[in-house]
Amino acid sequence: MQELLMVRYGEIYLKGLNRPYFQNLLLARIKSALNNLTSKVTLHDSRIYIRDMKDSAACLHAVQRVFGVHSICPAIEMDKEDFAAVCEQAFQLMSGLSGGFKVFARRADKRYELDSPQICAAIGEYVLKRNKDLHVDVKNPEHKLNIEIRDKAYLYINVFAGPGGMPIGSNGKATLLLSGGIDSPVAGYMIAKRGVALSAVHFYSFPYTGERAKQKVLKLAQLLAAYCGELRLFLVPFTEIQMSIHEKCPADYTTLIMRRFMMKIAEIIAKDEKSQALITGESIGQVASQTMRSLACTDAVVTLPVFRPVIGFDKIDIISYAKNIGTFATSSLPYEDCCTVFTPKHPQTQPKIEAVEEAELFIDNIEDLINQAVQNSELIQL
């Protein structure tokens, strides 16, 4: 008899020829999440098993952050041939519980001598006789006792939800424009959850944005890295560009022009990183630079697809998502972002692309500024 964690993954991704690829990638991701906790992680019969755990709560917590995991059950594994011992173990598992219960049996080994209804009946009866605080409730049971007959018997009560999604790396790589705000970490999480590896780009404007703002972004990147494994963060100095825009361009276009610089620089880094897309935390109409026309003007300077997974979310929905994934508290720290430096009083909300391009002509060394910013960026490996 042995305690272990039994991990289930989403069925819909398992069809066809991709199945072994997906399974092995998920196995690798789980192994690396459990790096310091146990090395006994195996794939067998459509389940992943985690054994030899010194700290099962820590293992559970780690696996709950691995994309591709559907659910995790702390289970007891035992010899299926000794059915009397299985019944006794079921009773032990239910000891101390009271109220309605139901037994669920699943017989993956079709040669097993008892079928599922017989297993349910025998175990239900055994438990009921010995625990007088329990009664059978098939409609709305408070406790669900699960028995799976596979190469061995597996018994469990609790099922913990995983994050869902697909394992990181199964869907390529994208580069996130990571501000210190609430929206961009959520956007990064949502795309990473679909199996996309991330790298991130952050623009800072020293001395207008300080050391604490930088630390905040580092912390956000670390929080994301806890889900998506390694993450390369590029810190890009942006002061000179912002000063040039502020000094030379018409005030109502400055925010939009700044956004276009950000996108161009991010794209250069993204292509270098072999990313296939950019990600931002923009949502329609949230601020002047996020009207549909403004978004069209920022898209116009890049060729990579730009993913904006929170585009249709209200701020309140993004906040609740951020709370769920654990980024909200850090995002709420009150340090300046470079976007809030030199903000015009009346930014354009319905810009025309020709007018933006014309306004940009006042800066005659755009390419130099961009190249310098890329060259002077600092890489932090998380």
Q: What is the 3-state secondary structure (H, E, C) of 204-250?
A: ECCCCCCHHHHHHHHHHHHHHHHHHCCCEEEEEECHHHHHHHHHHCC
Question: Which one of residues 127, 177, 306, 356 is an interface residue with ligand ATP (CB under 6 A)?
Answer: 177
Pick between residue 153 and residue 178 the one whose CB is nearest to ligand ATP. 178
Residue 351 engages ligand ATP in binding (rule: CB under 6 A): no
Question: Which one of residues 74, 163, 181, 195 is an interface residue with ligand ATP (CB under 6 A)?
Answer: 181
Let me know: does 355 contact 264? Beta carbons within 8 Å.
no
Residue 377 engages ligand ATP in binding (rule: CB under 6 A): no
Q: Per-residue string for binding with Mg ion, 337-366, x by CB under 5 A?
A: x-----------------------------
Pick between residue 153 and residue 262 the one whose CB is nearest to ligand ATP. 262
Question: Which one of residues 68, 162, 181, 309 is an interface residue with Mg ion (CB under 5 A)?
Answer: 181
Report whether the peptide linkage leading into residue 74 is cis, meaning its omega lies within 30 degrees of zero: no
Using the contact rule CB under 6 A, the part of the chain among 7-15, 28-36, 73-81, 197-205 near ligand ATP is 197-205
Q: Which pairs count as long-range contacts for 313-322, CB under 8 Å and 24+ apart, including other chains?
A: 313/283, 314/283, 315/182, 315/283, 315/286, 318/182, 318/183, 318/186, 318/281, 318/283, 319/182, 321/186, 321/189, 321/190, 322/182, 322/185, 322/186
Q: Which two tokens stand for residue 42?
A: 């195996």
Question: Which one of residues 170, 242, 289, 327 is an interface residue with ligand ATP (CB under 6 A)?
Answer: 289
Q: Which residues pair with 232 in a beta bridge?
A: 199, 381
Let me know: does 273 contact 379? Beta carbons within 8 Å.
no
Q: Which residues of 23-60 are buried (b: 16+ CB within 10 A; e: fewer)?
A: bebbbebbbebbeebbeebebeeebbbbeebeeeeebb
Which listed option, ligand ATP, Mg ion, none, makes contact with residue 128 (CB within 5 to 8 Å by class)?
A: none
Residue 267 CA to residue 272 CA, distance in Å, equals: 8
Residue 34 CA to residue 41 CA, distance in Å, equals: 9
Residue 302 engages ligand ATP in binding (rule: CB under 6 A): no
Which listed option, ligand ATP, Mg ion, none, makes contact with residue 154 (CB within 5 to 8 Å by class)?
A: none
Residue 337 engages ligand ATP in binding (rule: CB under 6 A): yes
Let me know: does 73 contact 156? Beta carbons within 8 Å.
yes
Closest residue to ligand ATP in the complex (CB):
181
Pick between residue 68 and residue 180 the one whose CB is nearest to ligand ATP. 180
Pick between residue 181 and residue 229 the one whose CB is nearest to Mg ion. 181
Pick between residue 275 and residue 280 the one whose CB is nearest to ligand ATP. 280
Residue 348 engages ligand ATP in binding (rule: CB under 6 A): no
Question: Which one of residues 182, 235, 257, 270 is an interface residue with ligand ATP (CB under 6 A)?
Answer: 182
- Kindly list the residues in this chain that would bind Mg ion in the complex (CB under 5 A): 179, 181, 337
- Kindly list the residues in this chain that would bind ligand ATP in the complex (CB under 6 A): 177-179, 181-184, 201-203, 262, 280-282, 286-287, 289, 337-339
